[in-house]
Amino acid sequence: MTPGLFETVSQFPWYGWLAVASGLGLVGYTIAHLSGRWHGFAIAGCLLLAAPTSWFTYRNVSIERRMTEVARRFTGDPTVWVNCAGMFDELPHLGKAGWAQVVDPGTGAEAHLKAEQCDALRSWLGGSPSSAASFDEMLALHVYVHEIVHLSGVLDEAQTDCTAMQRTAEVARLFGGSDAWRTAGAALAARYFAEVYPRMPDAYRSTECRPGGRLDRTPADGRFP
Ligand SMILES: [Zn+2]
């Protein structure tokens, strides 16, 4: 379920291709330089371009691959992809935390997170499960789970948000690989339910999203989310 090299490269952002081009330029000019021609300025220029674009591409690709792998295990669909949006991608979706383009399952549906949410998720995953999460990290994790619930084929917003809260612990476990992460995820879901959920727009809420309600996935256990 881990995205392959070809698939990863095909998802490169524009600066990823700039990194590739300047890297090729660097190789070409260095070969020309070593064979006796002076290409010092061209080498320096390519290096100046290649270094930051490669770094940002690496950052982008590593979190996208990690989010995609977890989304594939969560949905059981090996064709989904989770993307960190660039600024131009975000323009038609201003004001939204994230969005998913859900086509039919199995056809490469994509979920999109804003760049700042990818940063917050990266920062949360880079810490330890026992360290206190920021509000932004809590929200980023929730938005991520919300979008991959969409990728699993649920389209209704209220049902999606309610399911997301109840599956956050499981997703945190998939990311971190231990029960300490599951516990940390459960705590963040409880925080979202207490602090954010009551303020969500009507379309995202349901009176059935409560302990023992119709949207409670485990109505008998007395625990929620
Ligand atoms: Zn949604």
User: Could you read off the pLDDT of 27-73 as tens digits, one per residue?
Assistant: 999 999 999 999 999 999 999 999 999 999 999 999 999 999 999 99
- Residue 33 within a domain: no
Domain assignment of residue 67, given as a range: 63-221
The chain-wide mean pLDDT, for the chain, equals: 93
pLDDT confidence tier of residue 99, bands split at 50, 70 and 90: confident
Taking the C-alpha atoms of residue 132 and residue 124, their distance in angstroms, rounded to an integer, is 9
| 87 in any annotated domain | yes
Cα 136 to averaged position of ligand 1 atoms, centre (Å): 18
Tell me, yes or no, whether 18 lies in a domain: no
Measure Cα distances from 47 to 29, 30, 52 in Å.
11, 11, 9
In a domain, 142, yes or no: yes
Q: Specify the pLDDT at position 224.
A: 95
Nearest to 3 by CA among 75, 70, 103: 70
Note whether residue 24 is domain-resident. Answer: no
* Interval between CA 198 and ligand 1 midpoint (Å): 16
How many angstroms does the Cα of residue 31 sit away from the middle of ligand 1?
Answer: 51
In a domain, 190, yes or no: yes
Using DSSP's 3-state secondary structure scheme, residue 80 falls into: coil
Question: How many domains are contained in the chain?
Answer: 1
Q: Is residue 46 part of a domain?
A: no
Q: Of residues 112 and 103, which shows the higher confidence score?
A: 112
Average pLDDT over residues 200-218: 96
213 is written with which tokens? 């309600």
Which pLDDT belongs to residue 104? Answer: 60
Cβ atoms 60, 13 nearer than 8 A: yes
